[in-house]
Each structure stands twice: as structure tokens, then as C-alpha cells.
Amino acid sequence: MPSYLPQLIIPNCDHKLFEEIALANPNSFYRMNLIQGQLEIMPPQPVHNDTDQREVNIIIEIGNWCRANDNLVGHYGGSQGAYTLNTGDILGPEASVVLSARWNALSTNDRRQAYPPVAPNFIVELRSMSNSP
């Protein structure tokens, strides 16, 4: 059985270091979150075909719903996006939707940030066979 890299935890991290690591690795398949000053770097794990198919179908459905309800939706994204929560944590869900009232309350500058300071109204995280108990 192949071995996979474990999750890497870096304590005492801030937004600056988070962004430096993200910018230094633009083509990385690693997912990163900053939670309570602790950087979590999650290496790619094997994804079961069924999980991959479910993820694609969910993203398609979310995209279809957002386009059909574009008057309600301010922003939506996939696993390459992330948000800065009001706690200062940076989290990147697999899929997310921010309704227009919340998105439009942000300044133009905030909306253009790599990690906009807003909590999505809806997120999706899937558990695959490789990361389920």
C-alpha cells in the first residue's frame, strides 16, 4: 500500500506567511487553512472515483443554481478559493456561495483580495474514503 504525506502543521503563522507560501507554490495541489494562528497544509490524498464524481456533480449543481439565481448570488467558487473569516482564520472549502447582500456589503478592495473577508453563506466539504474514519 502506498504511503501518503501527512498533514503538516505550522504554529505561529500569520496572514503574511500564509500568502507567501501560497504565492511561492502557485501550482500546488496542497490545500491550506489558517486556523487560530496555525497553518494547516494538507497534501493531496488519493480520491476514490465515486467521491470525485460526487464532487464534480455537486459543483455543477451549485454553478447551475447560482446562474439561475444570479440576482441572489454575489460570489461562488471552488476548491482553489479561500475566505478570511471574522476570526482572522483563512478557510478554503471545496465549494462555496456568498449571497449578494453579504458580498455587496464588501468594499471593492475587499472583493478583490485573494482571501476576501467574508464568511460564505453555504459551503461544501466532501469526505472521501481516504479521509473518513
Q: Domain for residue 34, yes or no? A: yes
Determine the Cα angle at 20 with ends 127 and 28, to 5°: 40
Q: Which long-range contacts (CB under 8 A, 24 or more apart) does 29-37 make?
A: 31/79, 31/92, 32/82, 32/90, 32/92, 33/82, 33/89, 33/90, 33/91, 33/92, 34/88, 34/89, 34/90, 34/91, 35/89, 35/91, 36/87, 36/89, 37/11, 37/12, 37/13, 37/88
Domain assignment present for 88:
yes
Q: Is 74 inside any structural domain? A: yes
Range of the domain at 25: 8-131
End-to-end CA, the chain: 18
Domain membership flag for residue 3: no
Domain assignment present for residue 1? The answer is no
CATH number at residue 27: 3.90.1570.10
Q: Is residue 59 part of a domain?
A: yes
- Per the structure, the count of domains in the chain is 1
- Tell me whether residue 47 is in a domain: yes
Taking only the tens place, the pLDDT of each residue in 32-83 is: 899 999 999 887 766 667 777 888 899 999 999 999 999 999 999 988 889 9
pLDDT-above-70 percentage for the chain: 89
> Residue 79 domain-assigned?
yes
The answer to whether 96 and 112 have CB atoms below 8 angstroms apart is no
Which amino acid makes up residue 58?
I
| Per-residue model confidence (pLDDT) at position 4 | 63
How many beta carbons lie within 10 A of that of residue 61, not counting itself? 12
d(CA 31, CA 44): 8
Query: Can you give the pLDDT at residue 30?
Result: 81
Look up the pTM and report it. 0.79
